[in-house]
Amino acid sequence: MSTIVKICGLKTLDTLDTALDAGADMVGFVFFPKSPRNIGLADAARFIAHASGHAETVALVVDADDASIASILDEAKPDWLQLHGSETPERVAEIRKSSGKRVMKALPIATAADLAAIPAFEAVADRLLFDAKPPKDATRPGGLGVPFDWNLLHGVETKVPFMLSGGLDPDNVAEALRITHAPGVDVSSGVERAPGEKDPDRIRAFIRAARGVT
């Protein structure tokens, strides 16, 4: 089965088209004002409509309230909601039920102890995203371009599919997949030429590398 590839933090039509043309399975749009990838609702709606039918679309939120989620669903109509904050299993279940959307829950990973969160969240989410735990002084909970020890995921078993994330790039994604056998990978910083500025060549290179295309 081919590795599912998600390109996250897209902000322009040309880089979205690059990701789609290169075969990205999922494209992510960030709704987090402190992020250099933060996107407005109108642009997200336009890009999600453009991507529909070519890739699954993901709206990424961080501890969003019901009103914010409702606006995103009404205006942008994503296929997935990615919950990248400190949402509890109960909150994940509540959002999944009320939105009727598939939900991907990000779990911050730094040590083996962090894997203890898997059972509670795999019971309420459609997919898990293992991302590097942010440092205490981080201004955002993701998109930091920093990996965690992939060996922590060696042999991990989950009841729902998972994605590997955090500090991936065209040069390390094949090794990350060799170690983790992750069914999916997700990248943001590693395909950028500057924070929030996606690089089409790096997007293409990442997808090729993730697919094992030399």
Smaller CB separation from ligand LARABZUK, 96 or 206:
206
Is the separation of the CB atoms in 158 and 172 below 8 Å? no
3-state per-residue secondary structure call for 11-75: CCHHHHHHHHHCCCCEEEEECCCCCCCECCHHHHHHHHHHHCCCCEEEEEECCCCHHHHHHHHHH
Count of residues near ligand LARABZUK by CB under 6 A: 26
Distance (Å, whole) CA 104 – CA 166: 15
CA distance 60 to 32: 8
184 belongs to the binding site for ligand LARABZUK (CB under 6 A): no
Structure-block tokens of residue 141: 């909970």
Residues 102-161 that bind ligand LARABZUK (CB under 6 A): 131, 140-145
The answer to whether 182 contacts ligand LARABZUK (rule: CB under 6 A) is: no
Q: Is 8 a catalytic residue?
A: yes
* Among the residue ranges 11-19, 90-98, 164-172, 201-209, the one whose residues contact ligand LARABZUK (CB under 6 A): 164-172
In the window 32-91, what residues touch ligand LARABZUK (CB under 6 A)?
32, 35, 37, 60, 62, 84
Question: What whole-number distance in Å separates Cα of residue 137 and Cα of residue 144?
Answer: 12
Report the helix count and the strand count for the chain, using DSSP H and E.
7, 10
Among 3, 9, 95, 148, binds ligand LARABZUK (CB under 6 A): 9
Task: Note if 149 is an active site residue.
Answer: no
Can you tell me which of 4, 8, 92, 95 binds ligand LARABZUK, judged by CB under 6 A?
8
Instruction: Count other Cβ atoms within 10 Å, centred on residue 111.
Output: 10
The residue sitting closest to ligand LARABZUK, measured at its beta carbon, is 143
Among 3, 109, 122, 166, binds ligand LARABZUK (CB under 6 A): 166
d(CA 186, CA 189): 10
Catalytic residue among 14, 74, 131, 149: 131
- Catalytic residues, by residue number, are 8, 131
Footprint of ligand LARABZUK on this chain (CB under 6 A)?
Answer: 8-9, 28, 30, 32, 35, 37, 60, 62, 84, 131, 140-145, 165-168, 186-190
